[in-house]
Amino acid sequence: MTAEVKRKFNSRRGASVVLALFLLLVCTFAGTAALTAARANVGRHAGARDVQEKYLSATSAARLMIDELQKANGKISGTFDPTLTDNIEFGGLDTNSVYKLIADDIKAVLHNAVYEKVKGDADWSGFPKPTHTFEEHEFELRVDGDDSFENVRITISVGDTGDGNGGNIEVTSKCGDYVYMFVMPYNTSFNKDTGKCTFSATATPEIRPPYKGESTS
């Protein structure tokens, strides 16, 4: 058997067939590589549509929420007095509004703002220190009866700068692996004579990190 194999190896016959077979192998490999690369490219482009749908759903939802939150501009105000306990009155709070969903936070923002402005004032010495803790509010947005838009998770968090002048409302929109974040600055103004503190959100929202436009699909 070994002698037969040795003879085959040393034989000079059939070299052209071997070379042709080798070329066939090379051509098959080269063709397969080109085809695999092309197929992967098509797959990537097909996945891009899914990413764009998520991107549009996430940005539409975030912009809608920001637009709705901006409607709170000038509509929310509280009238405070030095003996305030828990009877804050708020005007213009639309029952079907997004800012209604974070009303407690906005009330706390006004309370904080007043507290910061009257701190150290003898007339307001009895004004209670705010105790509210700001927490994230999470929602799901659905376009009724339209499956072409994916459901989007929205997180709203309200924060203030601690100086009584305002702060930021962060709106994070998440659709699949797509995350989009808007930051909307707001201001508070307080008139000590009338005791009126007003919430305003006139500044243009900014897009901030985290921003991720990728999909694992």
Partner 1 sequence: MKLINKIRSRRGETLVEMLVSITLLVLAMSILAAMLSAAYNSDVSARKMDDKLREELSAAEEASSAESTGTVSIYSIKPDGKPDESAPDVQIDVDVYGGAGALRIYKPKSTP
Is residue 85 at the binding interface for partner 1, with CB under 8 A as the rule?
no
Is residue 217 at the binding interface for partner 1, with CB under 8 A as the rule?
no
Tokens describing residue 41 = 């490219």
Which residues lie closer than 8 Å to 145 by C-beta, 6 or more apart?
A: none
User: What long-range pairs does 99-103 form, CB within 8 A, spacing at least 24?
Assistant: 99/68, 99/69, 99/71, 99/72, 99/75, 101/137, 101/139, 101/156, 102/69, 102/137, 102/156, 102/158, 102/169, 103/76
CB of residue 110 to partner 1, shortest distance in Å: 22
Q: Is the dihedral of CA 96, 101, 106, 111 positive or negative?
A: positive
Q: 6, 8, 38, 81: which one contacts partner 1 (CB under 8 A)?
A: 38
Total of residues contacting partner 1 (CB under 8 A): 58
CB of residue 144 to partner 1, shortest distance in Å: 5
* C-beta of 19 vs 207, nearer to partner 1: 19
Q: 88, 130, 134, 153: which one contacts partner 1 (CB under 8 A)?
A: 153
* C-beta of 79 vs 215, nearer to partner 1: 215
Inter-residue contact 75 to 93 (CB < 8 Å): yes
Q: 73, 90, 93, 101: which one contacts partner 1 (CB under 8 A)?
A: 101
189, containing H or E segment: strand 178-191
Is residue 48 at the binding interface for partner 1, with CB under 8 A as the rule?
yes
What gap in Å lies between CA 101 and CA 173, rounded to an integer? 16
Tokens describing residue 190 = 């307080």
Is residue 50 at the binding interface for partner 1, with CB under 8 A as the rule?
no
Is residue 207 at the binding interface for partner 1, with CB under 8 A as the rule?
no
Residue ranges that bind partner 1, judged by CB under 8 A: 12-17, 19-21, 23-24, 26-28, 30-32, 34-35, 37-39, 41-42, 44-46, 48-49, 52-53, 56, 59-61, 63-64, 67-68, 96-98, 100-101, 137-146, 148-149, 153-154
